[in-house]
Chain A
Amino acid sequence: MGPRGDRIELKIPQRLEYLGPIRVFFEGIARDVGFPENDIEKIVMSVDEALSNSISYSRDNDEPLWITIELTLEALSITIVDAGDDYRDRFQKNVELDEHLREMRQNGLGLHIIKTFMDHVKYNRTSQEKNHLTLVKFLPR
């Protein structure tokens, strides 16, 4: 990836079939930046979960998703923007993993994975009714 401070913007159709190629893309970015293998896997999985979430809860599948990637000296920051329903409540809800496993729940781990695997996660709902989910992974020292 280029000099620190560069910004990459991706516009992608809301099609689950693109998740595979997008994972490959982010794996390449994370590896090029110098993240260790474990962190690369966490970044890829987190982005995948975030995009799956956006597509699954979309109100209009013709509306594209926007992904912004920014690299600073400290961190890789990935923001996913969608026009789906407000999911602040789901985002703020903490998953009790023991209970989740004990009850053998089939759904509900996506946001938990993101919050567990990334160093910082922020959700924002804009006045234009867009969801902004920002995932941050600090660069290894």
Chain B
Amino acid sequence: MNEKDEGQMWKKFEMITTSVKAGDLNLKKVRIQGYLDSSTFPQLQEHLDNLLQQGTNYYLLDLEDLTYISSAGLGVLMGILREVREKKGDLKIISMSEKIERVFSLLGFSRLMKVYSSEQEALEAFLNPREEEEEPEDRF
């Protein structure tokens, strides 16, 4: 067990952020690894808040290595989505396990945030935005 300090025990959450371009758009790609629950969501919240303050309004979230998400984690995603859309930006998600996809679908999040199967597809969607209406699918 790697204990950094009293508040870090058992915390298994990592973010890797890179810069990506889609045409003239400057995006931040955030790869989330581990679990996003009540203990770890503040890290993501703070990180995305900082990026927003720095002027980033386009985000690509890679959730391939996300092993668990709670309502707190979903709340962070909802919050950032609301903020970027208010600023005429957007957020797209690439890759998600079936388990996380089921949670998204059952709670209706798949209506708001489309999941793309590849980064290339998501980047093309940033350049060619279109309205998507999709009924949530109860996969449980």
Where the two chains meet, the residues of A that have a C-beta atom closer than 8 Å to any C-beta of B are: 16-21, 23, 38, 41-42, 45, 48-49, 52, 55-56, 97-98, 100-101, 104-107, 109-110, 113, 116-117
Contact = CB atoms under 8 A, between A and B. Distances in A.
B99 A41 contact: yes
A56 B11 CA distance: 18
Give 10 closest A-B pairs by Cβ, nearest first.
A16-B39, A104-B82, A109-B71, A106-B75, A52-B38, A106-B79, A110-B71, A16-B38, A101-B108, A38-B140
Interface residues of B, number: 31
B38 A23 contact: no
Interface string B69-99: 0111011101101100000000000000001
A55 B111 contact: no
Given A104-B78, A109-B75, A97 B38 contact: no
B106 interface: yes
30 contacts: A16-B38, A17-B8, A17-B9, A17-B10, A17-B11, A19-B37, A19-B38, A19-B39, A21-B10, A23-B68, A38-B140, A41-B103, A42-B140, A48-B68, A49-B70, A52-B38, A55-B38, A56-B38, A98-B108, A101-B109, A101-B111, A104-B112, A105-B75, A106-B78, A106-B79, A109-B71, A109-B75, A109-B107, A110-B70, A117-B140
B35 interface: yes
B21 interface: no
A91 B11 CA distance: 29
A20 B102 contact: no
Interface string B31-71: 00001011100000000000000000000000000001011
B9 A101 contact: no
B136 to A, nearest CB: 9
